[in-house]
Amino acid sequence: MFSHLFLEMEQAHDLYRDEPVDLYCLHYVFLPYIKYILTHYIDGWNHHGMSNRGLGGLSPIQMWYRGMMEAYNNGFDLDLFPIQADNAGEVALRHSMIQATRMQATEPIMDQTRQPRNRDPHVSVSRFRDHLPEYILSDEFDQQIQQRFPNKHWPTMHEAIHQYLAVRAYVHDVINAF
């Protein structure tokens, strides 16, 4: 959905993927919208009843809770509900259990500093914020833009594009004023 929208915006020359200001404005307008949609999708998925045989109509979140409780009953401290212990005895008792969430990975950590290769299965994205004027990244500008363009969390696509274009024009005006 969003990839098609952003591609259309590129084709209409409303978005340039190599332009840091465009990426800043895209993030400002669309990230809250995307987070809102994903939050509702995740919530719906986690709470829907599974119809697979043998699952008893449990939702994914209910299955997760059941698995965590079974693991806890089998002696694993999953640190699901961390508490502030006032005495060392309680801490020692809690930490004598196997802590499954703190087990060391068996795979070696990959070297993250090596040069990317053509066959790598990832996309390298440069940090667009490094290429923006310092004022645009300031708290003062952040307050200005939030007052001028309050960010809606669920606009229609048309409203989101309109807001993106307005934010983009404003940011360019501010940059040109310096």
Show pLDDT as tens, one digit a residue, over the chain (178 residues).
888 999 999 999 999 989 999 999 999 999 888 888 888 888 888 888 887 777 778 888 888 888 888 888 888 776 655 555 555 455 444 444 444 444 444 444 555 566 666 666 665 566 888 889 999 999 999 999 999 998 776 668 888 899 999 999 999 999 998 7
**Domain membership flag for residue 152:** yes
Residues 149 and 174 in one domain: yes
Distance CA 86, CA 79 (A): 17
**Domain membership flag for residue 148:** yes
**Domain membership flag for residue 86:** yes
Residues 31 and 65 in one domain: no
Q: Tell me what pLDDT residue 4 has.
A: 92
Distance CA 76, CA 172 (A): 55
- Range 31-35 contact pairs with CB under 8 angstroms and sequence separation of 24 or more: 32/151, 32/152, 32/153, 33/152, 33/153, 33/154, 33/155, 33/160, 34/2, 35/153
Distance CA 76, CA 80 (A): 11
Distance CA 165, CA 17 (A): 14
**Residue 2: domain span:** 1-37+129-178
For residue 55, give the DSSP letter.
Answer: S
Task: List the end-to-end C-alpha distance of the chain, in Å, as a whole number.
Answer: 37
| pTM assigned to the model | 0.62
Q: Tell me what pLDDT residue 69 has.
A: 86
**Domain membership flag for residue 116:** no
Q: Tell me what pLDDT residue 130 has.
A: 85
**Domain membership flag for residue 90:** yes
Please report, as a single letter, which amino acid is at residue 86.
D
Collapsing DSSP states into helix, strand and coil, what is residue 98?
Answer: strand
Distance CA 47, CA 60 (A): 7
**Domain membership flag for residue 25:** yes
Residues 63 and 23 in one domain: no
| Domain total of the chain | 2
Residues 31 and 60 in one domain: no
Residues 64 and 32 in one domain: no
**Domain membership flag for residue 145:** yes
Q: Tell me what pLDDT residue 128 has.
A: 83
**Domain membership flag for residue 113:** no
